[in-house]
Structure 1
Amino acid sequence: MTVDWGHVFAGRVSGMSASEIRELLKLLNRPEIISFAGGIPDPDFFPSSAIAHAYQKVFQSNAGAGSALQYTISEGHTPLREWICTYMGKHGVQAGLDEVLVTSGSQQALDFIGKLLIGPGDLVVVTAPTYLGALQAFSPYEPRYISVPMDEEGPELAALEAALAEKPKFFYLVPDFQNPNGTTVSLARREALLDLCEKHGVPVVEDAAYTELRYDGEPLPPLVGLDAARHGGKPTNVIYCGSFSKTMVPAMRVGWVLATAEVVNRLVLMKQAADLHASTINQIILHDVVSQIFDSHVKTLRSHYKERRDAMLAALAEYAPPGVTWTKPQGGMFVWLELPEHVDGTQLLERAIKEANVAFVPGSAFFADRSGKNTIRMSFSATSPERIREGVRRICELLKRV
C-alpha cells in the first residue's frame, strides 16, 4: 500500500500557500521583462569588496578560519549582538545581550514568533494591506486574522481598538515605508496605537526591514524605542524584528529579534530546535562589514533608491490614466496603486506579462481575506530609472486599454 500523503500531513499544512512574489522572481531571468515584482535590493549596490576583504581576514589564520567554520551559540555571534545593542541604543533602547537573538533572516523571526504566540484559532491583528511574508509565516499556526484598515497616517485607531478588544495574541505592523503600500505611521499614531495596545495588554510585533531606507523627512523613533521610553529604556511590550537584507545583502540571511528576555529565552529554544544557530561565518563577516561601512553604505543606498522612487512617481504622474491613484512613500521600496474597481490586479498581471513584458504583484496577495483585488504593488529598487519610466508607460498604456 502506498502512503496517502494528503492524509498524513498535519492539519496546519492547509494554511500554507506559495508566495506570489517568489514565483514572480523567476521572471528576473527573462531580460525582456521589466520587473517591478520583487521587493529586492539592487545587486549592483552590494558591498562586495568589503565582504571579500572580510573573508580574507577570516582565512588569514587557521584559528580565524576554525572559529568561523565551527558551531556557535544559538543566541548568535556575540560581537554582532553587541553591535546590534549599540545600534538599538541609538534608537532609544537599552538592550542587553540576553534581549537579542540573531536569526536566519527576519523571516525566521516571524516564523518563530508565530510558533511562540499563536495557537489554532487564536486572533492576530494585521493591517489591510500587510506584508505577505508575515501572513505566510503566521498562517501555518492556524490563526484567525482581524484586518485593520489604514489611512495616510497608519492603522485607523477606532478599528484597531475594536480589534484589540477581541483579545488577540498580538498586533503585527510595518511602521516605516510599509511593504506593500509604502505608508509610514506618523509619530502621533505610533504613540496612540501603543497606548491602545498597552491598555488591552496586547503585544506589538514591529517589522523594521525598511527603516533605514528613508529619502524624505525626519526619521521617526521605532515603536520599540517609544515603548522603551515608557519602561525605563527596556523593551517591554514590543517585539522588534530587524534585518540586514535590505541594507547589506540578503543572501547571508542574517536578521535579529529584540525583545524582553522572557520572550528571547523561549525564542532561543526554538532556534536550537530549528537550525541550532545562524551561519557562524555569515555572522562574523557581516559584523566586520557593518562595523566598517554601515552608515556610509546606507547613505549610498538612499541616494540611488531615492532617484528610482522619484522616477516612478514622475512616470506615474505623466502616464497614469484617470481613476488610478498611488502612494508617495517617503522611503522603502514600494509604490502602491489603486485601480478602478472593475480592474482585477491578477488579470491585469497576466496581460501585462503577455502584452507589455512588465511584471508587478497583484495587491490581493497582501490582504488576509484576499480582498483589494483592484490594487497592485510596484517595487522600484532593482530597476534603473530609464527602465522604470518605460515600464510604467507600458502599464499605463495597458490600463488605458483595459
Structure 2
Amino acid sequence: MLQWENIFASRASRMKASEIRELLKLLERPDIISFAGGIPDPALFPAEKVSAAYAKIMNGGAASSALQYSVSEGYRPLREWLVGEMAKIGIPCTVDNILITSGSQQVLDYLGKLFLSPGDTALVTWPTYFGALQAFNAYEPVYDRLIPMGNRTPEDYQRQAAAVRDGGRVKFAYVTADFSNPTGETLSRQARLHLLDLAAEMDIAVIEDAAYQSLRYDGEPVLPILALDIARNGGDIENTRTLYSGSFSKTLAPGLRVGFVVAAKPVIRKLVLVKQAADLHSSTINQMAIAEVVPDIFEEQVAKIRTAYRARRDLLLAALEKHMPQGVRWTRPEGGMFVWVTLPEGLDGAALLARSLETEKVAFVPGQAFHADGSGANTLRLSFSCASPDMIEEGMARLGRLLRSVILDAASLAMKAAG
C-alpha cells in the first residue's frame, strides 16, 4: 500500500486542523451553550434581498454571463462600487487596484504564496487570527512577534539579521487593525503610524485584515492603515506598502464567499496570476448578486448588524462582570464579535474547555491556538455574535461557577505543595 505520508510535500506537516472549525460542530448539539464559533448570526442575513437579486439575474437576460467563465480580476460593477466605498474611508483607488477573491481567507493564502519562501519571516501579533497562521503555514515561514516601533530591542534586530543569514528575510507584518480576531482590540492611530514606520525601516509589506472594520459600535473610527499610508505618500496608492483585505462575509453572508484585496497595481497584477492558477475567478453569479444588492441595502444592513451585535456585546460584558471570579480579566471591544479572556497564571484554557464540556456544557475557544509561539495557554476567546440574552446569562453563570471551582482546586494544590 502506498504510504501517503512519504510523498506529501514538506509543507504538509505544517497543515493543522482548525480547532475553531471542529468546535463549530458543537453548535449542532442542543445541550451545549456555545461561544466558540466566530460566525455571523444567520437571522441577520438579507436573505430575501439576495434571493431577489439571483432571480433578477437569472430571469432578466444576464443568466448566460452569470453562469459563464469570467475575468480573474472580478466583476467590474462590484469593483466600481468598492472604489466608492474605499474612497469613503480615505482609500482613493481605481478598479485596477482591486481583486475579487473567494472570501478574505483566500486573500491570506494568496499573499502567503506571493511573498513567503521557506524560511522567510512573517511578523504577527501574539495572539493573532488563527486562520492567517493556517494560510501562511503552507509556505513554511518563521514567525516572529510584531513589536511596536518604539519598543524594538537589540534582540529584535538580531532576529532580523538571523533571518537573512539563514537564507530568508522578513517579508511582511500581518495585523487585524479593527476589533481583532481573537482579542477584539483595535490599533490606535498612533500604533498604526508606528507600524508604518517599522515597515519602512524594515522595508517590508503590511497586510491589513479589515474583515471586521464595518462592525464598530462605540468610539470614533480610526483611519485604515492603507489610508494613512496613502496620506503619507502624496495621496497615491501606487506608492504604498499596505495591502487591505476586506470581505462581505461579516456584513452580508459568509456563504457567498466573496472577499477582496486593495493594493498597488504591481501587487494586484501578481495576485491576478496567482488566482488564474488557483481557481481562474471567483463565482460570477455571487459577485453579480452582491453588486445588485449593495447599492440599496448595504448601509441599512450594516446598521442592523451593529444594533444587534452591540446589544449582545453589552450583555456579555455585563455577565462577565457579574459572574467571573477575581483574577479573571477580559477585553472591552468597541466592535467586532469577540471578547478575549485572560485566566490566572497556571490555568489552561484547553483543559478548562474539556472540563466545561463535560460538566457545564459551555463551549469557547482556547487561546493557545492563536499564538504562533505556542504561548497563551491561560487565555480563551468568547464570541457573542450568535448568543441570545438567555444564553449569555446562563453561559457566563456556568463558566464563572466552573472557574471558581478550578481556581479553588489550584489554590488547594498549591497549599498542599507548600506545606
Q: TM-score range by the shorter chain?
A: over 0.9
Residue aligned with 1:328, SS: coil
Cα distance in 2 for partners of 1:278, 1:85 equals 19
Out of 331, 335, 338, the position equivalent to 1:331 is: 335
TM-score normalised per structure 1? 0.96
User: Hey, what does 1:122 align to over in structure 2?
Assistant: 120
Q: CA deviation at 1:157?
A: 4.0
Residue aligned with 1:309, SS: helix
1:2-401 to structure 2, matched below 5 A, reads: 2-61=1-60, 63-148=61-146, 155=148, 157-159=150-152, 163=156, 166=160, 168-235=170-237, 236-401=240-405
The question of whether the paired residues in 1 share the 8 Å contact of 2:149 and 2:195 is answered with: no
The question of whether the paired residues in 1 share the 8 Å contact of 2:121 and 2:144 is answered with: yes
Q: Deviations over 1:314-369 (max 9, x none)?
A: 00000100110000000000000000112100000011111111100000000001
**2:335 is matched by which residue type in structure 1?**
G
Q: Deviations over 1:205-250 (max 9, x none)?
A: 0000000100000111000010111123233110110000001100
Unpaired stretches in structure 2, ≥5 consecutive residues: 161-168, 407-419
Residue aligned with 2:143, SS: strand
Cα distance in 2 for partners of 1:385, 1:202 equals 45
The question of whether the paired residues in 2 share the 8 Å contact of 1:125 and 1:163 is answered with: no
The question of whether the paired residues in 2 share the 8 Å contact of 1:157 and 1:193 is answered with: no
Q: Deviations over 1:115-138 (max 9, x none)?
A: 000000001100000000000000
Q: CA deviation at 1:162?
A: 6.4
Cα distance in 1 for partners of 2:153, 2:122 equals 12
The question of whether the paired residues in 2 share the 8 Å contact of 1:240 and 1:258 is answered with: yes
Comparing 241-250 and 383-392, the one that deviates more = 383-392
The question of whether the paired residues in 2 share the 8 Å contact of 1:148 and 1:156 is answered with: no
Comparing 164-173 and 35-44, the one that deviates more = 164-173
From the superposition, tell whether residues 206 and 298 of structure 1 become closer, same or farther in structure 2 (CA, over 3 Å).
same
Q: CA deviation at 1:200?
A: 2.1
**2:26 is matched by which residue type in structure 1?**
L
Cα distance in 1 for partners of 2:52, 2:155 equals 53
Residue aligned with 1:89, SS: helix
Residue aligned with 1:145, SS: strand
The question of whether the paired residues in 1 share the 8 Å contact of 2:149 and 2:198 is answered with: no
Q: CA deviation at 1:97?
A: 1.4
Q: Deviations over 1:80-104 (max 9, x none)?
A: 1111111111111221111110000
The question of whether the paired residues in 2 share the 8 Å contact of 1:164 and 1:202 is answered with: no
Larger radius of gyration between Structure 1 and Structure 2: 2
Residue aligned with 1:251, SS: helix
**1:136 is matched by which residue type in structure 2?**
Q
Cα distance in 2 for partners of 1:97, 1:130 equals 30
Cα distance in 2 for partners of 1:156, 1:376 equals 28
Q: For this pair of structures, how many residues does the alignment match?
A: 395
Q: CA deviation at 1:66?
A: 1.1
RMSD: 1.4
Residue aligned with 2:254, SS: coil
* Percentage of identical aligned residues: 53
**2:34 is matched by which residue type in structure 1?**
S
**1:28 is matched by which residue type in structure 2?**
L
Q: CA deviation at 1:182?
A: 0.8
Residue aligned with 1:233, SS: coil
Cα distance in 2 for partners of 1:193, 1:178 equals 16
Q: CA deviation at 1:164?
A: 7.0
Cα distance in 2 for partners of 1:398, 1:13 equals 38
Cα distance in 2 for partners of 1:327, 1:358 equals 20
User: Hey, what does 1:152 align to over in structure 2?
Assistant: none
**2:38 is matched by which residue type in structure 1?**
G
Residue aligned with 1:128, SS: coil
Q: CA deviation at 1:156?
A: 7.0
TM-score normalised per structure 2? 0.92
Q: Deviations over 1:228-286 (max 9, x none)?
A: 11123233110110000001100010000111110111100110111110000000001
Residue aligned with 1:181, SS: coil
